[in-house]
Chain A
């Protein structure tokens, strides 16, 4: 199976359109981790035959899906929550074996309100970790 990985973040509609045209029909799997509305037609358009748009970001607006782009290329749209305890243990082993770690910013827990404000401002790069300092 052909596998390509691409990281995406929210960007302007025009940029999304341009990028999605360039990668039309090329991805086996697109995982949406953001909680905002995207250009869903464009996103589904980037999927290869049998490709799948998988939603894990809790976007509150419904996602409109046109039937033909799914039918003709046998694509699908799906979602999932977190994983089971065994899946978590497997993932942690995988992360330890391959030195996978998030990019983080650390705050002492006593600065929790500042940390929330920074996350809300969209400036965090990328995950914030609070270190206990009681």
Chain B
């Protein structure tokens, strides 16, 4: 298979189109043929190494929309031909407390799509099945890319605050305590 990608060789160097070797498909990974990919300001920050975490050569692009072209033997719930999206993260450990409680994005080993991983400015991208999200049929997929990073970031921020403000928050805390979980209320003692 001939994969091509726009490669950043070093910070602030213009991207060049190259043939890349993606290697064998991971057992839990899927491969997506990229149709559209949003360009987020975070791509620019990693391109310029503004955060000091960039790894070159880099393939940027983390607002991917495309169709699945291959599924690993242990990939679940997805099939070839399905239209999907991949955002800022492309994988997580799937066994830590955060992953097992549905907060995969807080996993200590969560894999950013464009740092130490090949992103979506390419013919194909690989991602863990759990982080490869089927797109609703009604969604205008050509415009959906930015929803996968900018969209979810703001959606979650608004939704978390709404949940936190709901009456019953204190009951949830009490229930959490009853289940032996610590409810964090911390204060630093004056010294």
Contact = CB atoms under 8 A, between A and B. Distances in A.
Interface of A: 1, 28-29, 31, 33, 35, 50, 52, 54, 56, 58, 60, 80-97, 100-102, 104, 106-107, 109-110, 112-113, 115-116, 119-120, 127-132, 134
B177 to A, nearest CB: 22
B158 to A, nearest CB: 7
B145 A84 contact: no
A1 B165 contact: yes
Given A1-B165, A94-B155, A81 B35 contact: no
A119 B121 contact: no
Interface of B: 4, 6, 14-15, 17, 33-45, 47, 50-51, 61, 63, 66, 85, 87-89, 102-106, 121, 123, 130-131, 133-140, 142-162, 165
A112 B6 contact: yes
A7 B154 CA distance: 12
A97 B142 CA distance: 16
A120 B50 CA distance: 13
12 contacts: A28-B161, A83-B153, A87-B156, A95-B144, A96-B138, A100-B147, A115-B39, A116-B43, A129-B38, A131-B142, A132-B66, A132-B123
Contacts of B162: 1
Contacts of B42: 58
Contacts of B15: 112-113, 116
Given A112-B121, A116-B44, A127-B146, 4 more contacts: A83-B105, A83-B153, A102-B38, A109-B6
B38 to A, nearest CB: 5
Contacts of A91: 147, 151-152, 155-156
B156 A82 contact: yes
Nearest to A89: B133
Contacts of A85: 104, 130-131, 133
Contacts of A120: 44
B35 A131 contact: yes
B35 A132 contact: yes
A119 B44 contact: yes
B75 to A, nearest CB: 13
B143 A84 contact: no
B163 to A, nearest CB: 11
A86 B102 contact: yes
Contacts of B44: 116, 119-120
A116 B13 CA distance: 11
Point out which of B63, B134, B152 has the most chain A C-beta atoms below 10 A from its C-beta: B152
A119 B155 contact: no
Given A29-B161, A91-B147, A130-B37, A83 B156 contact: yes
B136 A31 contact: no
Contacts of A109: 6, 37, 121
